[in-house]
Structures are given as C-alpha cells and as structure tokens.
Amino acid sequence: MKRIPDIYIFLVICFLTIVIPGCVLLRPPDVITSAVSFIGPTSATGGGKVTNDGNSVMIVRGVCWSTIKSPDLEDQRTTDGYETGEFISSITGLEPNTLYHVRAYASNLEGTSYGKDLTFTTSPFGVPELTTKAVTGITQTTAVSGGENVSDGGEPITEKGVCWSTQTGPDISDSKTNEGAGTSAYTSNLTGLTGNTTYFVRAYAKNLEGIGYGQEIQFKTSLLLPVVTTADVSPTSATTGSGGGSISSDGGSPVTAKGVCWGLTANPVIGSNNFTSNGTGTASFTSNITGLTANTTYHVRAYATNGVGTAYGSDKSFTTDPLTVSDVDGNTYDVIRIGTQLWIKQNLKTAKLNDNTSIPLVTGNTAWSNLSTPGYCWYDSDAGFKSSYGALYNWYAVNTGRLCPAGWHVSTDNDWLTLESYLGGVSPAGGKLKETGYTHWLSPNTGATNSSGFTALPGGWRRGDNGT
C-alpha cells in the first residue's frame, strides 16, 4: 500500500482546524490573586485578575477569605462581576489583629479556579463601634436619640454624640452633638429642626484611628403651627375697624380657621376675646371689626388654626373714632368719618385758641378791615347765628395753627381735594355733603342726598377790605 506523504496529512489537519471551529478545549478560568492593601482592624482591600475565561461563559469572580489556609466558595467571599480582567474587592467583617488567608476566584460553566493563597494580618486597633439609639420625643423642632453598645476599638474615645441631616449618610460635618469621651451609653438632644421634615441620624464616636458611626435611623418631625402675619389695622367709625392678615405657611396641615381677634389688652386670643371667622386656607383675608366703643384703643392679632393648634401674628393697635370733640371754650362738635378722613361736622364756635389765648370779638367794619391780629365775629354781628353757623374768623386767627381743638387743624386745600376725590369729584361731592330738604339750602342748590352724613349747611362771609 502506498504511503501518504506527511505534507498531505499536515494540510488535512490544518483544514479541519479552520473549518471546524467548535473543536476547542473548554476549561475553568485562569485567575491571579492581587496583593491585599488598605488593611484596617475590620476591613481590607483585595482583588484579582481573570487572565483567561477558559473558552467558556464566565459566571462570577471575586475573592474568598478565612482564618484557615486555602479559603474557597464555602467561606466568606465577594461577588465582583463576571468579566475577564482586573477587579477590586472590599473585604469586610474582619476581627482586629487577626491573620487571614485570601484567594481570588473565578467561575465559568466548566468550574471554579483559585489564585494563589495570600495572607495578611488586620491592624490591632480600629475606629469605635456603636449603635444608634431609637429616636424618641419627636416634636416640630426637637428629637432625642443617642448611642449605646459603645466599643472603643482599642483606643480611648475622645468624643461621641449624634449627627443628623436631611440627606442620608449624615456625618460630623453636619449638625451634631458632643456628649464627651468614654464608652458609656449616652442620650443626645437634637435641636433646631424644621417641622414636617424627614431627617437621618447616626451615633458617632472618635478615637485616634478615626470616626465610627452607628446605623442610620430615619424620622420625621411633627407638623408646625401656621405662620400668620397681622395686617395693619385702622378705625372705620366710632364703633368699627378694619384688619386682616396673611398666612405664609400652613405648617404642613390645612388651615381650618382664620381671622382676627381683638381686646382692650395686648395679645388677645380667640378663647377669651372677640374674633372674626374668615374661612379656611392660606389666602390673605380682610376682617371687619365691630361692636367697639368710641374713642377707645383696641389691640388686634391675626390668627390661623391647623391640626396642631392656633398661631397668632404680632399685636397691633388702633383707636376708634370719637363721637364728639370739645374745644377749650367748652363747645362740643360732632365727628364723622368720610373715607380715610375725620371731619368736625359743625363750624367752630370758640372764642379762644387751643392754648387758651382769647380771640377778640370784632364787630365794627373799619376795625375788622384794619385787623392784623386774630379776630372773630358772628354772622351779621348777630350771636344768634352761633348755634347754626358758628363764628367767622379772620386769616390771622386761622394762621395761628391753634384755632381747632388740640390734635385737629383747619382743613387745607389737599384735605378738600382728598374729600372731593372720595366722593366722586366736584359735581357729585356737593350733593353728598349737603343737608337734604330745603330748610337751609334753597333753589338752585337742589339735589342734595347727604349720603356722606356730613349735613353741610350754607354759611356767609365777611369781607376784609371794608369789613362788611
């Protein structure tokens, strides 16, 4: 039989290798153990490198460790992905000052391989260990926690307490307490909190090795009272006033009542003083204050009530309008409010300035026209007109600034313009001020409504040039 040349056998083998790729060797991965670093009393950093996947699908890789040589998957281990290449592993839960064995591992469908067994010894000292006490005594702005089961890690504890934040993982750069040194259990008061807010708290302790933290506990502060502001208050008549308020926060609970309360002493409350009810919710509100006494000072506060209780704004005061006012000469005048102004309803009748200085009564025409000092007279030099029309005063009396009762002044042009504007302008203002009927106002001065309540009467004048 003729022998087949070796070259043909070689070519056939090469052909089979190329066209039948499934004929490869399957085996467990190749893995190398990395050196252990960052060794502490209870943790270290290890890892490894998968250099070959063994031509099979990778399942898992990591490190395993034990105090006994050649640890395997039955011991403590990490899970660090399923690729080839380098990986880093966190080795935790260790005992201080203890010798450990560690090996990298890698598994595929064909099995598990291990890297070289390496050893390391944890450091003899560590950071403190402790647990966080349950949070109790929770209010709108405070809570109580603390630490217990405190271990010093082999070094004296120099500081301990709790730290808290609205973010998870609070540390000592956040709000914290300082409860001193040592390993005894302790209680901490958390202050300055915000109502209806979620917080995270951890106990902490320091030694020369660093800072240890207890487990994190989450809690939520109680609801707050509403935040309410008292609006400016003012009188609207001798027996009424106007106030109100605004609510900038409902405290996390719906506002079920709001309004103002008032009384004769500062800081009135709704339980023992008069109050209004202006609905619910946080919208601003205006309150009509009624049933008051004339010429009396009242204190007013806005209030708002939610599920926690009732909150109050600042105390503000106002004085109701007087019904009458008297001058130093004993004459009494009715007072009326028109818009924002108070007016005396009758003409002045006084024969004295408000500092008690007498005003001369001047009847003669020549004497009147020659006056350069204060003076007054009755219309037509008849004192019988005093009751209805009051007195007529010269400019010098008016210009003293002391003709009206103390606290009042003769109306200025701006005062009249303000009144005119409030009453709707020049044309309608007269009718709204004048007495109705025709007792004093005669035609063509018709159309009076006296809607202002002022009841103005017609009056006369006295000339300055000839005194008539």
Residue 441 falls inside a structural domain = no
Whether residue 288 is found in the same domain as residue 274: yes
Residue 17 falls inside a structural domain = no
Whether residue 278 is found in the same domain as residue 336: no
Residue in this structure with the two tokens 């709001």, named with its chain if needed: 258
- The residue from 121, 148, 175 where one domain ends is 121
What CATH number does the domain containing 270 carry? 2.60.40.10
Residue 443 falls inside a structural domain = no
- The residue from 256, 289, 319 where one domain ends is 319
- The candidate with the shortest Cα–Cα distance to 457, out of 388, 359, 360, is 388
Whether residue 140 is found in the same domain as residue 95: no
145 burial level (CB within 10 Å; 0-12, 13-18, 19+): buried
Residue 13 falls inside a structural domain = no
Whole-number pLDDT of residue 11? 41
H helical segments located in 196-352: none
Whether residue 339 is found in the same domain as residue 284: no
- Written as six digits, the tokens of 446 are 């018709």
Whole-number pLDDT of residue 23? 61
- Written as six digits, the tokens of 453 are 């309540």
Residue 109 falls inside a structural domain = yes
- The residue from 121, 155, 177 where one domain ends is 121
The strands making up 44-52's β-sheet, listed across from edge to edge, are: 30-33, 44-52, 85-91
Whether residue 303 is found in the same domain as residue 329: no
Residue 71 belongs to domain spanning: 30-121
Distance CA 392, CA 384 (A): 13
- Written as six digits, the tokens of 459 are 């009056």
Residue 9 falls inside a structural domain = no
Residue 343 falls inside a structural domain = yes
Whether residue 294 is found in the same domain as residue 369: no
Whether residue 354 is found in the same domain as residue 421: yes
**Letter string b/e over residues 431-441, b meaning 16 or more CB atoms within 10 A of that residue's CB:** bbbbbeeeeeb
Q: Residue 444, preceding bond cis, omega within 30 degrees?
A: yes
Q: Half-sphere exposure (CA, 13 Å, Cβ side) for 86?
A: 4
Whether residue 146 is found in the same domain as residue 109: no
Whether residue 157 is found in the same domain as residue 112: no
Whether residue 339 is found in the same domain as residue 312: no
Whether residue 207 is found in the same domain as residue 137: yes
Whole-number pLDDT of residue 6? 52
Residue 461 falls inside a structural domain = no
Rounded mean pLDDT for each run of 10 residues along the chain, 468 residues in total: 46 42 81 94 93 96 98 97 96 92 97 97 90 95 96 93 98 98 97 93 95 97 93 97 96 94 97 93 98 98 95 98 97 96 96 97 95 95 92 96 96 96 93 85 81 90 86
Q: CA quadruple 400, 404, 409, 414: dihedral positive or negative? A: negative
Tally the domains of the chain: 4
Whether residue 427 is found in the same domain as residue 345: yes
DSSP for 142-203, written as a single string: -EEEEEEEEE-TTS---EEEEEEESSSS--TTSEE----SSSS-EEEEE-S--TT-EEEEEE
Tens of pLDDT, residues 2-36: 444 555 444 444 444 444 444 679 999 999 999 99
**Letter string b/e over residues 229-264, b meaning 16 or more CB atoms within 10 A of that residue's CB:** ebbebebbbbbebbbbbbbebbbbbebeebbbbbbe
- Written as six digits, the tokens of 295 are 């010429």
